Structure 1
Amino acid sequence: MTQNAKDTAAAPASGPDPETLLPMAERLLARALAAGAEAAEVILGEARSLDVSVREGALEEVERSEGRSAGLRVFIGKRMAGTSFSDLTDDGVGLAVERAVAMARVAPEDRWCGLVEADQLARTLPHIELYEDMVWDAAALETEALEMEAAARAVKGVAMVASSGASLSSSAGVMVTSNGFVGAKRGSMASRGIAAVAKAGDAMERDYDQHSMRQRADLRSVQELGRSAGERAAARLGSEKMRSGKMPVVFDERVATSFIGALLGAISGPAIARGTSFLREKNAERIFAEGIDIIEDPLKPWGHGSRAFDGEGVATRPRAIIEDGVLTGWILNAASARQLGLPLTGHASADPGGPPGVSVSNLHLAPGERSRDELISDAGTGLLVTEMFGASLNSNTGDWSVGVAGHRIENGKIAGPVSESTVAGNMLDIFARLQPGSDLEFSGRINSPSVIVDALSVGGR
């Protein structure tokens, strides 16, 4: 729903409440069992958001949205079917239940499917601070977006701002299962984002900055974000292809999380069960250098990915996924744990109405002792990567390549901008050689400081 900023000024602060969702979820569960399901799972969520964007010094759009949705999984023997829907009227719920049960009766058998065993479900759930009431003031968000735009335009070389916006959101969710699990969660999020365009002659370059935090007061200032986006865009003017060769490469903290993503895909239970992971034979082995730790803390207050229970109702717990360079195990949902004959790890991701996947909560690569500038200095002659795109990873071998943009490093200092270049290597080799910087910030579900890899293949000219 699009509105004028004045129409939503100082809107009520209270967000969705899981206490209002729980009775609805329990009624839906009861209807599924009455319709013939032998076991069932219900996930019910509610979300509200307010987004404001500006352009050329004027309000562009105010969008306010809110809604509820549900996911239902039903089981008949070893057959499973599910559906997700947003029509929560009596007729809508009845139709969804009827459809799910009918599909389950004719679904193929899956020996690994099923709810988590009752004795493995979380029973006592810790409270995690994830929600604060916020004043939903569209006029205030408009002011933030305008000030952010002005800060970007003040940077020399910036010709225009492609987008500038601020938003607030809040959500609540509940999960109930027929074997006794009841869980609830509630969270808030505030965000700011901007994309700037710099121009020199006929050349134009674009870059961005953005920040999201659960508490509005923790956001980076609009001046800092706007200036950062403008400076990043202007710094890309005059870019050229990097010379080809093997050299040290520093990855900015904004892109370094890609390596953690590659690790997570390779240690996920489904990949290990299929035998399609380059780490399938590396459990309990050192795959990173000594002293490297990658830590998960699902109970972190105000964490982006914090959760007391996973997508199947299993309790989460802090864990070092990499400890002193050693891989400590896989991340599993119930199906992959059954296939591998291993205990649950609390890493199922909820897919309302569909089979659970695998995900982590809050994960970070522990920082090293060298600053980003020191990593660049130690690189001597090499490449600083600030943007990656079009990555290709062979999940069986770990061979990896990616398009990059960034800057040359000459004599230990940042030099001219680079684009239309590639970086390639093997993830096993990259993991073993990777060293983290000290500039870790917690601004997302997965966080990393800048990192340096001392020898990678770079292609350009």
Structure 2
Amino acid sequence: MTDLLPHLEAALRAARQHGADHADAVVIRGRSRSAMIRQGQAEGLRHAESLSLGLRVFHGRRVATVSGNELGRAALDQLAERACAMARVVPPSPDDGLADRPLIPVPASMVAGLDLLDPAAAPTMETLLDRAREMEDAALSHDGITNSSGASASTTLQDVALATSSGFAGQYRRSGHGYGISILAGTGTLMQRDYAFHNTVHQADLDSPASLGHMAARRALARLNPVRPRTGLYPVLFDPRVAGSLLAHFAGAINGSAIVQEASFLKDRLNDAVFGRGITITDDPTLPRLSGSRPFDGEGVACQPLNLVEDGRLHHWLLDSRCARRLGLPASNGRASRSGEGSVRPGTSNLFLHAGTHSPEELRRDIKEGVLITELMGNAINMLTGDYSRGGSGFMIRNGEIAEPVSGITVAGSLPDMFARLLPANDLNLMAGHHAPTIRIDQMSLAGD
């Protein structure tokens, strides 16, 4: 691993020489390969390398952020000079500043314990093509599968380094591997599409290409000849493929930036019962072999698990240092996310809803007529009020069993009400990339025929 920290230290020195009181800098360097097979033919072969350095400087009560993609001393000096010149003329921002409690030093054991770097050799382009072809061949072997939108395989390697003028310096590497396929069943106007994908840190944790191809084919075939249910109120189950989207809306509503701007329907609900009893939602950046894990956040603060919701009660906002200061809170809770351009804002790592005690089959057993949602589209979400409306497709539930496919429906409700009534199943699988198990919410509005 090339040591990127000396380049960051040079950037910080240059920033101080040009008048910065404090500064921090981040470098994100990535390499990736990907290959696609469509109808047996190779296309979309790609090899990419990227590097981005973000420098943030503080001058008095002002802050400026600039970015570049060169690590030479002259380029870093020019970057620092430009950042400091900007910081002298921008409006004051008194709540901006370095983190109050940086992690010094970064224990090597902490980085190693996250197991974010696959020790196996990265697959070659030929291997990626073979795996994509295996995926597509498996899907096309099913009767009724008529076309392919393509199967792809990819591998990535990323280096992340962060340093601050307060003494923090840390660096780690992250690998990534992924398969994906989109497949078509039926013909003409009756054609239906579905997909399967899997992304992991280690190759050994990936589902086999053939299993994903078969899964996509079965899903597409199951969607043939859909109907539209009559408009009404139904109990709704969200499949794990889409249940995580509800968590994404929740994360947006408790993001410190939204709370500071009073742009969230949860802005006055801290320490209130937002979910039902027994519901726990955790953001945990310390879980090994997961893509959201990290040894430190975007400001160099130690990463610790955080139960955002316990027994249904909302206990924390997602905070970086700026939002914590704006809200009068003691310090960041280690949720700063950082782009390669250097901008900082609160975010999540591995956010997940804890599993419940009942299986998906048990959750739907008493449903005489309901809907299982397997795909969502559109995004008519009002984060000020929590009004929720999205297009969807999936399957009817009749007498506790999954029945005919449905499409062209709109499911609507209110996120505060949905959060208060959701019930999780026991099928959470973080290694599958799911952030939530199957979720049941009763009495949602469904627009159909």
**After superposition, what is the alpha-carbon deviation per residue over 1:105-145, rounded to whole angstroms, capped at 9, x for unaligned?**
1111112111123xx11124322211023233222211111
Distance of 2:241 and 2:366 partners within structure 1: 20
* 2:440 matched residue in structure 1: 452
- Give the alignment partner of residue 258 of structure 1, picking from 245, 254, 260: 245
Secondary structure of 2:24's match?
strand
Q: Which residue identity lines up with residue 121 of structure 1 in the other structure?
A: P
* 2:382 matched residue in structure 1: 394
Distance of 2:256 and 2:275 partners within structure 1: 20
**After superposition, what is the alpha-carbon deviation per residue over 1:52-79, rounded to whole angstroms, capped at 9, x for unaligned?**
1112113224221223221111111111
**After superposition, what is the alpha-carbon deviation per residue over 1:189-246, rounded to whole angstroms, capped at 9, x for unaligned?**
1100000011245422211110011110110111111011112122222223231100
1:115 paired with 2:98, answer yes
Unaligned stretches of 5+ in structure 2?
none
Q: Is 1:383–1:407's contact at 8 Å kept on the other side of the alignment? A: yes
Q: Which residue identity lines up with residue 368 of structure 1 in the other structure?
A: G
Q: Is 1:49–1:169's contact at 8 Å kept on the other side of the alignment? A: yes
- Give the alignment partner of residue 372 of structure 2, picking from 368, 371, 384: 384
* 1:362 matched residue in structure 2: 350
Distance of 2:296 and 2:409 partners within structure 1: 42
Further displaced range: 282-291 or 437-446 = 437-446
* 2:411 matched residue in structure 1: 423
Further displaced range: 94-103 or 33-42 = 94-103
* 1:73 matched residue in structure 2: 56
Q: Is 2:280–2:312's contact at 8 Å kept on the other side of the alignment? A: yes
Cα offset, 1:418, TM superposition: 1.3
* 2:185 matched residue in structure 1: 198
Distance of 2:125 and 2:242 partners within structure 1: 32
- TM-score relative to the length of structure 1: 0.92
Q: Is 2:10–2:73's contact at 8 Å kept on the other side of the alignment? A: no
Q: Is 2:54–2:343's contact at 8 Å kept on the other side of the alignment? A: no
| Superposition pairs of residues 299-448 of structure 1, within 5 angstroms | 299-343=286-330, 344-443=332-431, 447-448=435-436
Cα offset, 1:376, TM superposition: 3.0
- Give the alignment partner of residue 8 of structure 2, picking from 13, 25, 30: 25
Distance of 1:200 and 1:239 partners within structure 2: 14
- Give the alignment partner of residue 38 of structure 1, picking from 11, 16, 21: 21
Distance of 1:155 and 1:341 partners within structure 2: 60
With over 3 angstroms needed to count, the CA separation of the structure-2 counterparts of 1:317 and 1:325, relative to structure 1, is: same
Q: CA RMSD in A?
A: 1.6
Further displaced range: 253-262 or 441-450 = 441-450
* 2:147 matched residue in structure 1: 160
| Superposition pairs of residues 123-162 of structure 1, within 5 angstroms | 123-125=104-106, 126-127=110-111, 128-133=114-119, 134-162=121-149
Secondary structure of 2:128's match?
helix
Secondary structure of 2:276's match?
coil
Distance of 2:244 and 2:137 partners within structure 1: 30
- TM-score relative to the length of structure 2: 0.95
Secondary structure of 1:106's match?
coil
Q: State the identity as a percent.
A: 39
* 2:47 matched residue in structure 1: 64
Cα offset, 1:349, TM superposition: 0.9
Aligned residues: 442
Further displaced range: 407-416 or 187-196 = 407-416
Distance of 2:432 and 2:97 partners within structure 1: 32
Q: Is 2:53–2:68's contact at 8 Å kept on the other side of the alignment? A: yes
Secondary structure of 1:299's match?
coil
Distance of 1:292 and 1:158 partners within structure 2: 41
Unaligned stretches of 5+ in structure 1?
1-16
Distance of 1:143 and 1:456 partners within structure 2: 45
Distance of 2:212 and 2:433 partners within structure 1: 20
Distance of 1:385 and 1:174 partners within structure 2: 41
Distance of 2:401 and 2:411 partners within structure 1: 20
Distance of 1:57 and 1:272 partners within structure 2: 50
